[in-house]
Structure 1
Amino acid sequence: MNSHYPDWNQLHAFLATVETGSLSAAARELGLTQPTVGRQVAALEQDLGVMLFERVGRSLSLTAAGRELFESARSMSEAASRLTLIASGQSQSIEGLVRITASDIVAAYTLPPILKSLHEAAPGIEIEIIAANDVRDLMRREADIAIRHVPPEQPDLIARRCRGTTARLYAATDYLDAQGRPNTGAALAEADFIGYSATDGLVGELNARGVPVTRRNFRWTTGSVVTAWEMIRQGLGIGVMFRDAAEGVEGIEPVLPELPPFEVPIWLAVHRELHTSRRIRLVFDHLAAALG
């Protein structure tokens, strides 16, 4: 890429095109004509000396250079929006309810400090947390913003991949004192495990890591990650838990910490239509910044 900075109007046109999915939709969002948006995107490609989109008929798909620029430009846009709100004091005047759906463990352990900083920036915003481990449907307005561990598939949603986290095996110190501390995966063949309602996937993941468990090892199962965490804490068995919730908790130890961790992606999603709401955009950007 060339070393000089691109024009912000061109970047804005590029961002809108990616987020809305087409030049025509970007033009409607920006209040411009489609040819104008097309010229701005083409000028950006020329200035940078790269192709940002692959054009197949009327469809557009990002190139590798386009994806790289999109991540950087999106971060710039979010930072500029936050600075503008803070400088103008508008964040203090934005009011109303925003509903966020997240898994119960994210709602209990990840969101509270983020919501505290959000309240300091925008005290007029009210937040309702829908702690649910099923995927709530943004298309039916069951929530305004979703924090998910799988990417949303609906084309009318704006999705943002965040930093993510990892998970590993943990157990209570009392449980390990009584049962012994394993030093190999094979030593867990007879251990009691705490699992979730659908355990087949977890059995496969553990087997792939050299832990020869079967469904019979899962003496306790639940659909609630928070409930599973409490079972682990109270010494019922070994379970997989997010690092963010488990690390540093008194009376809890990692089990076989040398095993490769489970990767847990985190996605933010919002309906394109709702993304134009100032309060929802503010909360979405705050979550995106906090979650990475």
Structure 2
Amino acid sequence: MHFCMDWRSMKFDWNRARAFLVTAEEGSLSAAASALGMTQPTLGRQVAALEEELGVLLFDRVGRGLTLTANGLKLVDHVRAMGEAASHVSMTASGQSTTIEGTVRITATEVASAYVLPAMIAGLRAAHPGIEIELVATNNLRDLRRREADIAIRGVRPTDPQLIARKLSQETACLYASKGYLAVHGPFETPGALAQAQFVGFEENDQFLEGLNAQGLTVFEHQFPVRTSAHLVQWQMVRQGLGIGVMVSRIGDADPLVCRATPWLPAFEFETWLVAHREVNTSRRVRLVFDWLVKEFKNLPAVA
């Protein structure tokens, strides 16, 4: 469902809101009036008009000063954000603001979050220190339509027409084992030899098991004596010699503790997609991060 703002029903007066905010920050009508360059009665009327408009009391009088009521406390942060936004609008219109600021939330797999994105984010932060990144490392898909993230890095192309997607790369993954494990239990030079192998699996292991068998291997559930819900934990178990596991080729091939357990087996192929809501076309900070990631992924070395 597309959310559409009902502009006709919005009658909020920014001048009244500004009067309320400055009064809250200065602590008295006289100090606020001085800060705004207006008379105290005029400022008092604006604050009173806002209270009447909202139907709530915003200040309690304490001696000569004012303190925020519970309703005033609820409102002040929202109005402060409006003030900051108004300031940015004014600065941008006058050509004073060339920086892009704010938080962008990225969701990516555990592996991409741990091994690929840190260097990219470091470069982004160095070039654009006003951008703050919140990285959600999960193998579960987050709903961009519900704003659970601004940008997602996924292994499948989205089908939702409200999402914008850019293919980043064609990746491969292979089966790996520690050199110590292969020295004792290997080599696994044929599919049949894998019948004696142990694998490190996942909590929801059906997809991994089906993928192995789809490659012409004959692997059974009892060959997964150790399982975990986290891919990064699975990888550490593989590195420690608990069995065979799967990893993105560019990461597994670079790890000195492991080697490909089945070099004769064709690599598993998958795509990497950068996905964002259509808001990427209207949000400067989301667009900046989106374009930065596209550029950085292009610069990754090709997989063997």
TM range (shorter): 0.5 to 0.7
Match of 2:204 among 189, 198, 201: 198
- Residues 19-45 of structure 1: CA deviation (Å, up to 9, x unaligned): xxxxxxxxxxxxxxxxxxxxxxxxxxx
TM-score, normalised via structure 2 length: 0.64
Q: In the aligned structure 2, how far is the partner of 1:102 from the partner of 1:248?
A: 21
Q: Which of the pair has more CA radius of gyration?
A: 2
Residue of structure 1 equivalent to 2:151? 145
C-alpha distance in 1 between matches for 2:115 and 2:169: 16
Q: Does 1:284 align with 2:299?
A: no
Unaligned runs of 5+ in 2: 1-94, 299-304
Superposed displacement of residue 271, structure 1: 0.6
Q: Which residue of the partner structure matches residue 223 of structure 2?
A: 217
Q: TM-score of the superposition, structure 1-length normalised?
A: 0.66
Q: Please give the residue correspondences for 1:244-259 in structure 2 after superposition, counting only pairs within 5 Å.
A: 244-259=250-265
Alignment partners' CA distance in 2, 1:198 and 1:262: 19
For residues 63-107 of structure 1, what are the alpha-carbon distances to aligned partners after superposition, in whole Å with 9 as ceiling and x for unaligned? xxxxxxxxxxxxxxxxxxxxxxxxx9x8x7111111100011110
For these two proteins, the number of residue pairs brought into alignment is: 204
Can you list the C-alpha shifts for 1:45-65, whole angstroms capped at 9, x where unaligned? Answer: xxxxxxxxxxxxxxxxxxxxx
Conserved 8 A contact 1:186-1:210: no
Q: What displacement does 1:197 show? A: 2.8
Q: Distance in 2 between matches of 1:234 and 1:201?
A: 24
Aligned to 2:187: 181
Q: 2:125 aligns with which of 111, 119, 122?
A: 119
Partner secondary structure for residue 264 of structure 1: strand
RMSD of aligned residue pairs (Cα, Å): 1.9
What amino acid sits opposite 1:257 in the alignment? P
CA distance in 1, matches of 2:263, 2:282: 44
Letter in 1 for 2:168: C
| Runs of 5+ consecutive residues of structure 1 not aligned to the other structure | 1-87
- Pick one of 102, 110, 135 that aligns with 2:141: 135
Aligned to 1:155: 161
User: In structure 2, how many angstroms separate the alpha carbons of the residues matched to 1:125 and 1:159?
Assistant: 22
CA distance in 2, matches of 1:291, 1:248: 18
Which structure 1 residue ranges, 4+ long, deviate > 6 Å from structure 2? none
1:227 alignment partner AA: V
Q: Structure 1 vs Structure 2: percent identity of aligned residues?
A: 47
